[in-house]
Amino acid sequence: MVLILPLNIFLNMVWRPNKMQITEQDKTFMREAIRLADESVKNGGGPFGAVIVRDGEIVAGSANSVTRDNDPTAHAEVNTIRQACRKLGTFDLSDCVIYTSCEPCPMCLGAIYWAHISRIYYGNTKKDAADIDFADDFIYKELEQHKEARVVPAIPLLRNEALKTFRAWEQKQDKIEY
Ligand SMILES: [Zn+2]
């Protein structure tokens, strides 16, 4: 897989101190993420919300909908990324930032990187989530374990056969990289 570092992410790294300043607008966007989380709790869903912002405007916002949709991947951040990509007609959100009511779990953090979102603001920490029995912190700890020692072991199988697809991708001239 290719994880290209877009220019804005590179600049974000170089000018980090400047980017760490919190503005009143940042607080407004975070409060909207928290409002979506509150609303979700009232409606029987999980206590998480997120918004994605581009050029100072909210382009997408969603709560967690795991239990409503019977979808374990329907975390607030993933839902919001899907919504933003549909709305903007792109799989590349490098000109966007995300405000999430809780520090992203490893799945959402991965999704944020795959979407090339350039910055994350979070409210609750993964420790706060662990304190109310969500597995975020546990999954982060699993990542530090040896693959075969994890609760869900990962076992290598048929690599030589699977590699043929990668060779085909590598050689394809007109592929759409992401
Ligand atoms: Zn998540």
Q: How far is the CA of 56 from the centre of ligand 1 (A)?
A: 24
Q: How far is the CA of 124 from the centre of ligand 1 (A)?
A: 13
Amino acid occupying residue 7: L
Q: Choosing from 77, 144, 148, 177, which is the catalytic residue?
A: 77
Annotation marks residue 148 as catalytic: no
Q: How far is the CA of 107 from the centre of ligand 1 (A)?
A: 5
Q: How far is the CA of 106 from the centre of ligand 1 (A)?
A: 7
Q: What is the pTM of this model?
A: 0.88
* Length of the chain measured in residues: 178
Strands (E), 70-135: 96-102, 120-124
Ramachandran category for residue 15: left, alpha or beta (phi over 0 → left; psi -120 to 50 → alpha): alpha
Q: In the prediction, which pLDDT does 1 show?
A: 53
Rounded CA gap, 89 and 142, in Å? 35
Q: In the prediction, which pLDDT does 9 show?
A: 66
Q: In the prediction, which pLDDT does 20 show?
A: 77
Q: How far is the CA of 82 from the centre of ligand 1 (A)?
A: 13
Q: In the prediction, which pLDDT does 137 show?
A: 86
pLDDT tens sequence across 146-156: 988 899 998 99
Q: Please choose, from the candidates 15, 2, 3, the residue with its C-alpha nearest in 3D space to the C-alpha of residue 172.
A: 2
**Cβ neighbour number for residue 157 with a 10 Å cutoff:** 7
Q: How far is the CA of 159 from the centre of ligand 1 (A)?
A: 29
Q: At what angle do helices 76-88 and 24-42 cross, to 10 degrees?
A: 110
Q: How far is the CA of 102 from the centre of ligand 1 (A)?
A: 9
User: What residues in the chain have per-residue pLDDT under 70?
Assistant: 1-6, 8-9, 11-19
pLDDT tens sequence across 48-68: 999 999 999 999 999 999 999
Q: Please choose, from the candidates 126, 123, 124, 125, the residue with its C-alpha nearest in 3D space to the C-alpha of residue 22.
A: 123
